[in-house]
Amino acid sequence: MPNIKFYKNKEVPLELHRVEIVKQLSLLPVDERLKKMKEAGFNTFQLHNGDIFMDMLTDSGVNAMSNHQLSAMMQPDDAYAGSETFYKMQDKLAEIFGISHCLPAHQGRACENILATRFVKPGNCVVMNYHFTTAKAHITRLGGHVEELVKDEGLETKSTLPFKGDIDLDKLKKCIEEETPKNIAFMRIESGTNLIGGQPVSLDNIRKATKIARDKGILTVLDASLLQDNLFFNKTREKECKDMTIREITRAIADNFDIIYFSARKFGFARGGAILVRDEKLFHSMEDLVPMFEGFLTYGGMSIREMEAMTVGFDESMEMDVISQGPQFIKYCVDELVDYGVPMVTPAGGLGAHINAMEFVKHIPQTEYPAGALVCALYICGGIRGMERGTLSEEREPDGSERFASMELVRLAMPRRVFTLSQVEYVTDRVKWLFDHREMIGGLKFTHEPKTLRFFTGKLMPTSDWPDKLAAAFRKDFGKDC
């Protein structure tokens, strides 16, 4: 990573790429945005992309591709069976992770479906640092349950802990004893940990936690979807990794796992997924699930062109100049907002900047979805689309009562290589305005609540006319066109 310093001694993240293809953006006036939010049932997943100025919903499938990726897409080997593109991708993954058996799947949750279908039986437990929504949904769908073993401090929004995604090893030992190794389908480590703020896991903790599991005969699984951000933090925050190359750190992490899966909508800057299986017998025992759910074993539901692009993307993910961009922009955004007094998840992680909604709108009870309300308010006042990561993203308990999330976050995802620094400045400016008007934000309630993954398709309404009043205040300060 070139250490480019500014003459005026300012710490400014610098783009290490230049823009060659652009997409025009437009900003609807505030009254239009209010109308669109109402039409979307106060659910940012239901907004149309054309009505959004800054789409910070996710980093999934929306990372910018490089010139090398685009040119690779022009040379695919299209075939139902035996595509050379697949073998190229498999070889690249073997080179990086040291595992040669690869099951392709159309995206990360498809990998999770295959893993859960193969390993989870009713009553089984899956131990993990922290869950991801789709991973958990597949496990519980099959009658399993998850045990989250992240350290208590990992769940504190304000912290200086460099690796908040680390597993608490005492909790792990206790859990294995209570559940018994036989009942544990597998251990899943997510690097980095999405729902607690893109927080990384240390190599040291990975080694210790997987050793405990393996000594008890428990299968170890790495969710590497957010690995590239994690690698940046290993390199910059973990002493042992300081002098290692990104490839060496990757291999040191990978060596601890029987299975590695990922969403290539994140890892690899494209759209797809794959499961890498170390043991040949185990690999063959999972093989039949790919043609059943995904497609033939050499494309797994993916476009061959995307597979070409991701193969190049895997190599790019091993470059510090590439993987440092996201975390540096996120840190800039978090630092700006912290300076203003906005409650943010600290230290800044990967994936995006995370606002602590529980604190930002502390007058809204969890029963009225504080993070869900804040994310809607942010669209109304800035055309910015974030994502609720709190109680709304949870599923109800079997008895119908709410399962309150341990954190109520609004995630402002930073898709890789997409936004410029002035766009990040715009976002922090609108968040600051909203923070100064936070008392105006009210709660939400469901008008249509699906049973599974309700945050995707549910519809809500405000508990009062707060969105109209908020839009009026914004109009007063910025004019009706802004």
Contact call for residues 151 and 164 (beta carbons, < 8 A): yes
Residue 388 near ligand F0G by CB under 6 A: no
Helix (H) or strand (E) holding 448: strand 444-448
What totals of helices (H) and strands (E) does the chain contain, helices first?
19, 14
> Where in 165-194 is the site for ligand F0G (CB under 6 A)?
190, 194
* Residue 475 burial (C-beta neighbours within 10 Å; 0-12, 13-18, 19+): middle
Three-class SS state of 333: helix
Beta strands in 247-293 (DSSP E): 259-263, 273-277
Query: Quick one: which of 13, 41, 108, 467 contacts ligand F0G (CB under 6 A)?
Result: 108
Of all residues in the shown chain, the one whose CB is closest to ligand F0G is 108
Q: In angstroms, rounded to a whole number, what is the distance separating the alpha carbons of residues 120 and 116?
A: 5
266 is catalytic: yes
Nearer to ligand F0G, 34 or 355 (CB): 355
Cβ contacts of residue 478 below 8 Å, gap of 6+?
30
Residue 345 near ligand F0G by CB under 6 A: no
Catalytic one among 164, 188, 305, 389?
A: 389
Nearer to ligand F0G, 119 or 132 (CB): 132
Residues in the chain: 482
Concatenate the DSSP letters of all residues of 403-436 into one string.
Answer: ---S--EEEEE--TTT--HHHHHHHHHHHHHHHH
Contact call for residues 165 and 193 (beta carbons, < 8 A): yes
- First CA to last CA distance, the chain: 38
Structure tokens, 259: 């299975």
**Minimum separation from the CB atom of position 3 to ligand F0G (A):** 30
Nearer to ligand F0G, 411 or 438 (CB): 411
> Where in 246-285 is the site for ligand F0G (CB under 6 A)?
263, 265, 273
Contact call for residues 383 and 25 (beta carbons, < 8 A): no
Nearer to ligand F0G, 223 or 294 (CB): 223
**Minimum separation from the CB atom of position 306 to ligand F0G (A):** 12
Nearer to ligand F0G, 263 or 391 (CB): 263
Nearer to ligand F0G, 30 or 116 (CB): 116
Give the number of residues in contact with ligand F0G, rule: CB under 6 A: 15
State residue 384 phi and psi, 5-degree precision: -100, 130
Query: Quick one: which of 60, 159, 236, 303 contacts ligand F0G (CB under 6 A)?
Result: 60
String of contacts with ligand F0G for each residue 29-58, x by CB under 6 A:
-----------------------------x
Catalytic one among 7, 18, 23, 80?
A: 80
Binding part of the chain for ligand F0G, among 218-226, 328-336, 357-365, 468-476 by CB under 6 A, reads 218-226
Nearer to ligand F0G, 109 or 438 (CB): 109
Concatenate the DSSP letters of all residues of 23-58 into one string.
Answer: -------HHHHHHHHHHTTT-GGGS-GGG-SEE-S-
Give 125's DSSP letter: E
Binding part of the chain for ligand F0G, among 35-43, 45-53, 102-110, 292-300 by CB under 6 A, reads 102-110
> Where in 76-95 is the site for ligand F0G (CB under 6 A)?
none
**Minimum separation from the CB atom of position 384 to ligand F0G (A):** 16
Three-class SS state of 2: coil
State residue 401 phi and psi, 5-degree precision: -80, 160
**Minimum separation from the CB atom of position 182 to ligand F0G (A):** 26
Q: In angstroms, rounded to a whole number, what is the distance separating the alpha carbons of residues 288 and 52?
A: 41
> Where in 129-158 is the site for ligand F0G (CB under 6 A)?
132, 134
Nearer to ligand F0G, 107 or 256 (CB): 107
Q: In angstroms, rounded to a whole number, what is the distance separating the alpha carbons of residues 183 and 296?
A: 32
Catalytic one among 117, 133, 236, 463?
A: 133
Residue 457 near ligand F0G by CB under 6 A: no
**Minimum separation from the CB atom of position 369 to ligand F0G (A):** 18
Catalytic one among 266, 278, 305, 417?
A: 266
133 is catalytic: yes
299 is catalytic: no
Three-class SS state of 62: coil
132 is catalytic: yes
Binding part of the chain for ligand F0G, among 8-16, 104-112, 213-221, 402-410 by CB under 6 A, reads 104-112
Query: Quick one: which of 225, 230, 298, 393 contacts ligand F0G (CB under 6 A)?
Result: 225
Q: In angstroms, rounded to a whole number, what is the distance separating the alpha carbons of residues 156 and 148?
A: 15
435 is catalytic: no
Structure tokens, 151: 């350290």
Three-class SS state of 223: strand
Give 278's DSSP letter: S
Query: Quick one: which of 44, 107, 199, 393 contacts ligand F0G (CB under 6 A)?
Result: 107
Residue 226 near ligand F0G by CB under 6 A: yes
Q: In angstroms, rounded to a whole number, what is the distance separating the alpha carbons of residues 381 and 111?
A: 38
Catalytic one among 59, 166, 223, 258?
A: 223
Give the CA radius of gyration of the chain. Answer: 22
List interacting residues with ligand F0G (CB under 6 A). Answer: 58, 60, 107-109, 132, 134, 190, 194, 223, 225-226, 263, 265, 273
Catalytic residues: 80, 132-133, 223, 266, 389, 455
